[in-house]
Structures are given as C-alpha cells and as structure tokens.
Amino acid sequence: MAIRVGVAWATHFDRPLWQQALQTSVRHTRLRYAYRAPSLFLQGMLNAGDDIQFVLCDEDLTSASLDPGICQDVDILYVASHGGLGTNGFSVALHALDWDLLTSNFGGRGPAVVVFDCCNLDDVKQPGWKTKWENSSLGTELRMVLGFRSAASVSKLASIRGRAFATMLRQFPVKDAWFGSMQAGAYYQTDEPLAIAFGDSDQDAQHTLDTLDIDNLPGPRTSATPTVKAKY
C-alpha cells in the first residue's frame, strides 16, 4: 500500500523590523538550502511509488496548515526550517510566526511520523525533558517524532540525508532509517539525531521506537496521555 507523503519547508521569514532588531541569534536568518532535504526525501518516496499529497513552502506553510490543516492528512510529514526551544517546548519558525508543537493538537488525524529537519527538537541533557511531551496535547495518531538534539546542518551536502532517509525507510525501522541517514551527509558526527516515540505504556512506546515500520504503521494510541521513549 502506498504511503501518503507531505513535505514542507521555510527558507525566508517575514518578521517586523523591531522583532528583527531584538534577535540575538540566527533564528530567523534565511535558509537557502532548506528546500533540499524535503525535496530529496519526496523524490525518494515518489520513486518508491508512494502517494505525494502536497508540497508547502514559505508563506503556504502556516499554523493553520499544520493544525488542523492538510499536514495531518498524511502518514509521514517532512518539515525543514529553523527550530528552537522555548517556554512551550519545541517550536518551528514558519514564514510569518513561530509555531509551538506541544501546545497544538498536531497528530489528531495524522501523521503517524513527522520529521522536523530543524535544530533543537529537545535538550535531552535536561532532567525530566520527557515530561513536557507526556503532558502535551499532541493527537493520538502521532506515534513518532524525528529531529535533532543539536543544531541541524543546512547545506547541499547535509541535505542528502533526505534522500538517504527515504531509501532506508524500506530497509530498516523508521528510527534506524533516520539515524542511518545522518551518515549520508557531511556533518553526521556533529548533527545529533533524536527519535521520540509515543505509546500507551512503557512496553508499547518502546516497541514503537524499536520496530515502527513505514509499510506497517500502528494504529492510534488509546490513551490521550502518552508514554514516551526516545533514542539519542
């Protein structure tokens, strides 16, 4: 059965001048090559015969498209942009605003797997970092989130991980495909991958983390409050 695939990215960011002046980091600088990893991932999935549902870029990637929009009408979603940690946990820089993942109902209809090819999905060195994921309002269809526990390189060479991930998805469990895809890029020793799985119990979450197969996706959780397991 073909997998329903969506990809999205933000390469430039529209922020008021006063907000730009207050920036103390590179949070909203242009990302010239942010399109490459999701595009290469899309091409790999298309080559495998999967069903491409949409491509969203820049001003078309909005909070409404993420929740409750079309980004939930797929089995796997690949998003590339700036990412960072704030009061509400992980957020993604969209074209016009920053979107907080953990306070949304993302995953209410789907996807089962989401990739945030962005910096700093979480800081696993912080005690109790899993608690905010367990207390989030994420939907029950979402079973795995992939990203980085570090900065995420954005370059021509680093973006090859998108193609490698698509290829490895048909060879390995989803988590292992993500970790393995790092070796295809130029910065795999500094880009530190992170996989977070959700289940109804410790056993279910661990099983999801270890065995989730893109061609045999699990059903939704039965509990609104997830148990979390991770690899990093």
Residue 232: CB atoms within 10 Å: 15
Q: Return d(Cα 83, Cα 220) in angstroms, integer.
A: 26
Q: Provide the CA 108 distance to its chain's centre, in angstroms.
A: 16
Q: What is the CATH number of the domain that holds 62?
A: 3.40.50
- Report whether 28 contacts 15 (CB < 8 A): yes
**What per-residue confidence (pLDDT) applies to 24?**
46
Q: Return d(Cα 226, Cα 10) in angstroms, integer.
A: 29
186 or 120: which leads in pLDDT: 120
pLDDT in tens, 11-64: 999 876 555 555 544 568 899 999 999 999 999 999 999 999 999 999 999 999
Residue 203: CB atoms within 10 Å: 11
Q: Return d(Cα 228, Cα 205) in angstroms, integer.
A: 6
* Number of domains, the chain: 1
Mean pLDDT of all residues in 148-171: 96
Residue ranges making up the domain that contains 50: 4-231
Q: Tell me the C-alpha to C-alpha distance, in Å, between residue 103 and each of 42, 43, 89, 120, 217.
A: 28, 32, 9, 17, 25
**What per-residue confidence (pLDDT) applies to 185?**
81
Residue 132: CB atoms within 10 Å: 17
pLDDT in tens, 69-115: 999 999 999 999 999 999 999 999 999 999 999 999 999 999 999 99
Q: What percent of the chain has pLDDT over 70?
A: 94
pTM as predicted? 0.95
For 119, the 3-state DSSP assignment is: coil
Per-residue b or e along 91-109, where b marks 16 or more CB atoms closer than 10 Å to that residue's CB? bbbbbeebbbbbbbbbbbb
